[in-house]
Amino acid sequence: MKKIAMITFHASHNNGSMLQALALQTALQQRNCDVEIIDFSNEGQRNLYSVLPYPHNWKQCIKWLIWRSNYKELKRQHEAYETFSSKYFKLTEKSYTNNTQLEELYNKYDAFITGSDQVWNTRCIDADDAYFLTFVKDKPKFAYAVSLGANNAFEGEQGLKYINYIRDFKGISVREKNAQKWIEQATGKKELITLDPTMLFDQEDWERIVEVKAEPIIPGKYIFYYCFGINEDIQIFLHKLSDRLQIPVYFIEAKEWTLKMCWRHRIHLVKQYGPDVYMNLVKYANLFITSSFHGTAFGTIYRKNFWYIKSKDSESSQDDRATTFLSQLGLMPRYRTIKELETINLYDKIDYKPVVENLNELRTVSNQYLSNIVGAI
């Protein structure tokens, strides 16, 4: 049995990050691999996802004071993510916080895989050279559906460093068109676009992988808005929508709900947390609205009539994560501005037959790439 080490944002207390890590772990296990997720989390990530992140300036001090006012809920959310991690992830025995420590893993595995998620976004707080597998020498290195977010790591002063990091990878696949374009510009190689690992499985598969409560967590009709952040414009839109449809709006991110004082717009905090809760909320929502890539992913998995709120900056590559996926599946009509969403029938149903046909084709390509990785080890 081939022994593979994965490195990804498994420790991010973010539903999408944790579910994509679990999906890739599962997909490799199904290929008869002994897989372990390297329990790596640098100082920036650990602070970001702590119950009360340590403040480094006066603005962060204000945030800390606001978060402290809802400490009980923030702690409950933190514990839910930690419980999910312990239950579902097969982690290395030791935890690691820097690249040098990871060097001891070199001889313990047959190959190393980085991805998925924004592991090559060098401007995010989680960013670390470790996700480029720089600690691995003379062992096969692969990247699966990596994302660079909105940042081209291969240009500017540090660009050459990152180009050199990826030259000795035995295989690379990316999640978005921008990542494909930027790598081709840097190396001359057009890498394959593969699905985020969450999309390798359908609803029935997911409910075998994760124990999802059979009954709705929220009784009655509700609107579920999902994203890691929620700005004032979106809050106002959701408030108006709730009044118009006469059903409540729910949000799951306790820190953001507290910081942005979402109660002012009658946006309810779910007060239950974790990826399993997130899946339940998507499944039973009467209306699902998102500004998150993994919102579109699970909206599709659960065949929901979801809508993605388009960024104010329509050219922003932040949205490339969603538009690549939506265009692949023929779902770009679900990508709308707030102004557009205020004037259309939000209960307009998606014809999922062509979507599923497109998805199955993409799954074939993505699964073949994963099988090729395992075969090359």
Query: What string of pLDDT tens digits covers the 377 residues of the chain?
Result: 999 999 999 999 999 999 999 999 999 999 999 999 999 999 999 999 999 999 999 999 999 999 999 999 999 999 999 999 999 999 999 999 999 999 999 899 999 999 999 999 999 999 999 999 999 998 999 999 999 988 899 998 899 999 999 999 999 999 999 999 999 999 999 999 999 999 999 999 999 999 999 999 999 999 999 998 999 999 999 999 999 999 999 999 999 999 999 999 999 999 999 999 999 999 999 999 999 999 999 999 999 999 999 977 544 445 788 888 999 999 999 999 999 999 999 999 999 999 999 999 999 999 999 999 999 99
CA torsion through residues 10, 71, 66, 280, sign: positive
- For residues 295 and 175, membership in a common domain is answered with no
- For residues 75 and 159, membership in a common domain is answered with yes
- For residues 344 and 368, membership in a common domain is answered with no
Print the domain residue range for 106: 2-201+361-376
Residue 204's CB: how many other CB atoms inside 10 A?
Answer: 9
CATH code for the domain in which residue 301 is found: 3.40.50.2000
- For residues 316 and 277, membership in a common domain is answered with yes
pLDDT for res 288: 98
The verdict on residue 206 lying in a domain is no
CATH code for the domain in which residue 63 is found: 3.40.50
- For residues 7 and 148, membership in a common domain is answered with yes
- For residues 171 and 67, membership in a common domain is answered with yes
User: How many domains would you assign to the chain?
Assistant: 2
- For residues 180 and 114, membership in a common domain is answered with yes
pLDDT for res 320: 80
DSSP H stretches of helix in the chain? 15-29, 43-48, 58-68, 71-88, 99-102, 159-166, 177-187, 203-209, 232-245, 254-259, 275-284, 293-301, 320-329, 338-341, 352-376
Measure the CA–CA gap between 273 and 80, rounded to whole angstroms. Answer: 6
pLDDT for res 314: 47
- For residues 168 and 105, membership in a common domain is answered with yes
CA-nearest of 225, 295, 299 to 265 is 225
CA-nearest of 229, 290, 242, 235 to 264 is 235
- Angle in degrees, CA 200, 203, 204, rounded to 5: 105
Q: 359: Cβ–Cβ under 8 A, 6 or more apart, which residues?
A: 199, 300, 329
Measure the CA–CA gap between 52 and 195, rounded to whole angstroms. Answer: 34
- For residues 81 and 180, membership in a common domain is answered with yes
The verdict on residue 208 lying in a domain is no
Q: Do the Cβ atoms of 93 and 123 come closer than 8 Å?
A: no
The verdict on residue 335 lying in a domain is yes
